[in-house]
Amino acid sequence: MKFIIDNRKDILKGSAFKTINEESVKHMNEVIKIYEEEYERRFKSVLTKKVSISSICEQLGTPLATLIGEDFEQDLRSYGEEENSTSEIPNFHPVDRERMSKIDTTLEKLQAIHKERADKKRLLMEQCQKLWTRLKISQEYIKTFVRNNSSLSTESLGRISKEVMRLEAMKKKLIKKLISDSWDKIQELWRTLQYSEESRSKFIIVFEELRNSATTLQEDELLLETCENELKRLEEKLTLYKPILKLISDFESLQEDQEFLERSSKDSSRLLSRNSHKILLTEEKMRKRITRHFPRVINDLRIKLEEADGLFDQPFLFKGKPLSEAIDIQQQEIEAKYPRCRVRMQRSKKGKCGANKENKVIKNTFKATESSIRVPIGLNLNDANITYKTPSKKTIQGLTKNDLSQENSLARHMQGTTKLSSPNRRATRLLAPTVISRNPKGI
């Protein structure tokens, strides 16, 4: 706008303004619109690149003036400042090709520096992470170090390089101990995973060869790396083995409770001790724990063993015997000692349908025999007045012989009857009472 105002006379004397009419004004408006759109596009591009340049400089920890010069830095910072301006006249910034090319070159240079430092930092941090793991450095120290050196400045890269050198020197002093610790950990995992001697022998041969031939730091590092790879493989298997290991621990604990319960129940002197009630309460708790949890542990353990069948080369052992055999033996013992145990109940579900069918057949084919007890057809069971109580003397005297025989026959008919409308009651036959008269004279 300032350029047009300052050169107004020269512009009006140009060939474009020789003929001024409606069509030329329309054409000029179209040209102005094209220029405005191009300026807007270039200006937005400059703003985007300015943000990228500022962000990279902040990550690198390097002032922009040291890379592109103070004058150009001030010009670049001025882009976008008119948003906060209160002037009504728009402030247009130069967006010529030369300036745009210079901005592009600056951005590419900064991106190259950023990539170079990022790659260097990544390699250094990988070395640090590996050494931190080997030397078992605390997580608190690692988090603090990473937080304090999160940028790509030359100072941060220098501190990371020094950390690598420090860890390498520490590793050189402790590498023999690291190898020994790794070997002990491998043997511990072998015992946990119940590895046989044949399965262990392959790694033992490789380990002994490398250890006997190691004379330099590089050879010791190779031996340590071999141990770490074996540890990683065993730990992956341990992750799959942990659920089974937990169930085996529960299985062994329940077996110990069962053995204790058997020993305690054989000791009859416990009932005479002062704390006999506590002993009996403990036994009852153990008995409930066995009957409640042992079936679940056995079933879950059998399922887990079937799932892990293809993951392990050898069967699981328990006290020198295959675990599957120990489970079968234990299940038989539980079913024998505790008939209502859940293991027995779960098995009986399979034959439940068959049992119902058998019962149904028996019910349908049932025939009354001669010895079956029959209820008289004309007898209304709901109206029958049956009493099972001691009769009084007056009641007995008022009954005739026919009444007594009829009542006795009714009681005989009702005895053994199973189909009644009223609830089942236990019949009690009482003897006739003996009447004793008191004589004041004792005669």
**Cα–Cα distance, 260 to 263 (Å, whole number):** 5
What is the structure's pLDDT at 417? 47
Q: Which residues fall within 8 angstroms of residue 109, CB to CB, at 6 or more apart?
A: 67
The answer to whether the predicted template modeling score (pTM) of the entire model surpasses 0.85 is no
Q: Give the highest mean pLDDT range of 233-237, 325-329, 421-425.
A: 233-237
Residue 210 near residue 223, CB atoms below 8 Å? yes
Name the nearest CA neighbour of 32 among 6, 10, 11, 9.
Answer: 11
Q: Kindly list the distances between the CA atom of residue 326 and the CA atoms of 251, 303, 321, in Å, as whole numbers in the listed order.
A: 10, 15, 7
Is the pLDDT at 104 greater than 90? The verdict is no
Mean model confidence pLDDT for the chain: 73
Residue 203's pLDDT band (cuts 50, 70, 90): very high
Task: Find how far residue 436's CA is from the centre of its chain.
Answer: 83
Query: Per mean pLDDT, which range of 26-30, 143-147, 150-154 is the poorest?
Result: 26-30
Neighbour count for residue 87 (Cβ, 10 Å)? 7
Q: Is pLDDT above 70 for 236? A: yes
Q: How many CB atoms lie within 10 A of CB 176?
A: 13
* Among 65-79, 229-243, 348-362, 370-384, the range of highest mean pLDDT: 229-243
Q: What is the pLDDT of residue 252?
A: 81
Q: Name the β-bridge partners of 12.
A: none
318 — phi, psi (to 5°)?
Answer: -140, 110
User: Which residue is listed with tokens 């036994």?
Assistant: 283
Return the pLDDT at 354. 43
Among the listed ranges 91-105, 207-221, 254-268, 379-393, which one has the minimum average pLDDT value?
A: 379-393
